[in-house]
Amino acid sequence: MSDTTAAPPTPPVPLTALLAREELGLRRIAGPATADTAVHWVHTSEMADPYPYLLGGELLLSAGVLLTDPDTYVARIVQAGAAALGFGVTPVYDTVPGELIAACDRHGLPLLEVPPETTFTAVARAVWRLMAEARHRELRRVTRAQQGLATAAARPDPVPAVLGQLAAGFGGRAVLLSPDGTELSAAGRPPAAEARQALRRLARMVAPGVGPTAASDTAAGTRLSAYALGGGQGLALGLATPAGEPGDHTVAGVAVVLLSLLTAPHQGLDSTGRATALVRLLLGASAEEAARPLGPRMWTVVHARGGQRTPFAASALGAALGSALVDPADDGTVRVLLPEGTAAAPQPGWVLGVSDQVGPEDLTAADQRAARALRRALATRSELVRHRPGGFDALVDPDEAAHHAARRLAPLANTPALLETLRTWLSLHGGWDRTAAALEVHRNTVRQRIARCAALLGEDLDDADVRMELWFALRRS
């Protein structure tokens, strides 16, 4: 990918801004008065034909020392692409020649009268000063835009947030496009149908291996740009804006880098190792054997809710936690497998339930513990809840504890809903509303299930000793 994050170019100076400098005393006396001509630089020449020395976009300053044929002179200046002509009164002419005024009107070249007291150096210095001010403003605008994009990328829904920031900053439409031009995510007001079609064509043009990494066009009065993203997915950033500023390309370049990182499919662990692990699982290997190509010997399971269920939210969460092993479920829960040495930390916009660190053979149990931790986090409105192993449980022989738990909870063994309700209710200290919220059921359903548990167990669930014993059993079940 080419470097799209360089500093923005120096913006041109509107001719009206130069005319507004009262100390110069410049006056437009010919040429179109409606369009605001852009001046890119200043050039002084007394040659009869300055065409070979003009680059285009200049304010050409001349006192007409060798002016003999005004019409040919102006025609050549226009052909060279000069922005305007500044004619100095004195020492050669007392007034601007009428033939020159007529030629500028005829060829559409803005003509400025430079009064005797104003030197060409003063005009040039004013242009450079205006350019420096414009560049400073543009740099500040670009810096603010970059900061806004970085802040958007840190949100729980980073891809839509970055697109929204771009759309707001450019006053147009920002869209993430697939290689075939399909809109994956977008922000801002959609342009006309003709412009949308043209933007899709641009996205196909910048696909990997097809053409350049950036392309632009204009359709239905809208300025269109497409930029290829990195990451190997063939995605593209499309922009439809009413007008363009010199720093827009720089801002878009920052967005391209951020979106490439946010949508990259491979982050963290080596993709070859993950593919090997998947093949082993599909061919019947145990979890411990399948996990060996991934490297770490210990793992932590994270269950998460949040991210507004937007595209790429799950992968963005995985990237924030430091793992590419992400599983977004249909119910909105995202599971992330963290390798040894990676610690789960709270993430803005997400609620996390975190298991203890286990070996591959215990991942199934850790997955269940992470799910319970998430339910507790949701019920208690906590950002993150961790499963806490050990304590007094570690003093009891695991086999004896499991045997006791199976016997103690036998009346509920065939009713998973009752077991889970009892577990959640006890973990939340008998809170009816919080248990209902954690299980996503009505509070009356919780009351009915707890009453059923009490009846089947033949226990008084208001007794603290009974609750403690049942909690111990549930933790070992």
Q: What is the per-residue pLDDT across 188-231, written as a single tens digit (0 to 9) for each? A: 998 899 989 998 888 888 866 555 778 888 888 889 988 888 76
In a domain, 346, yes or no: yes
The whole-angstrom separation of Cα 176 and Cα 181 is: 9
**Same domain for 304 and 250:** no
**Same domain for 259 and 150:** yes
Average pLDDT value for residue range 86-112? 94
In a domain, 287, yes or no: no
Q: What is the per-residue pLDDT across 380-433, written as a single tens digit (0 to 9) for each? A: 778 898 887 655 555 556 667 777 778 888 888 888 888 889 988 888 888 898
Position with higher pLDDT, 276 vs 221: 221
pLDDT of residue 434: 87
**Same domain for 440 and 384:** no
In a domain, 125, yes or no: no
Which residues span the domain enclosing 419?
A: 393-476
Q: What pTM does this model have?
A: 0.49
**Same domain for 304 and 221:** no
| Mean pLDDT of the chain, nearest integer | 83
**Same domain for 156 and 82:** no
**Same domain for 413 and 338:** no
In a domain, 11, yes or no: no
Question: Taking a C-beta distance cutoff of 8 angstroms, is the pair 336, 268 a contact?
Answer: no
**Same domain for 463 and 365:** no
**Same domain for 244 and 159:** yes
Burial of 458 (0-12, 13-18, 19+ CB in 10 A): exposed
CATH code, 445 = 1.10.10.2840
- Give residues with Cβ within 8 angstroms of 44, minimum separation 6: 60, 61, 62, 120, 124
Average pLDDT value for residue range 228-236? 76
Q: What is the per-residue pLDDT across 49-91, written as a single tens digit (0 to 9) for each? A: 999 999 999 999 999 999 999 999 999 999 999 999 999 998 8
Last residue of a domain, one of 117, 133, 162: 117
Burial 204-235 (b: 16+ CB within 10 A, else e): bbbbbeeeebbbeeebeebbbbbbbbbbeebb
Cβ neighbours around 283 below 10 Å, total: 9
**Same domain for 403 and 434:** yes
**Same domain for 422 and 337:** no
Average pLDDT value for residue range 165-194? 88
In a domain, 140, yes or no: no
Q: Is the pLDDT of residue 121 over 90?
A: yes
Contacts by 74-77 with C-beta closer than 8 Å and gap 24+? 74/100, 74/103, 74/104, 74/106, 74/107, 74/109, 75/103, 75/107, 76/49, 76/50, 76/51, 77/50, 77/51, 77/109
Average pLDDT value for residue range 7-34? 85
Last residue of a domain, one of 222, 242, 263: 263
**Same domain for 160 and 247:** yes
In a domain, 269, yes or no: no
CATH code, 224 = 3.30.450.30
**Same domain for 213 and 231:** yes
Number of structural domains in the chain? 4
In a domain, 229, yes or no: yes
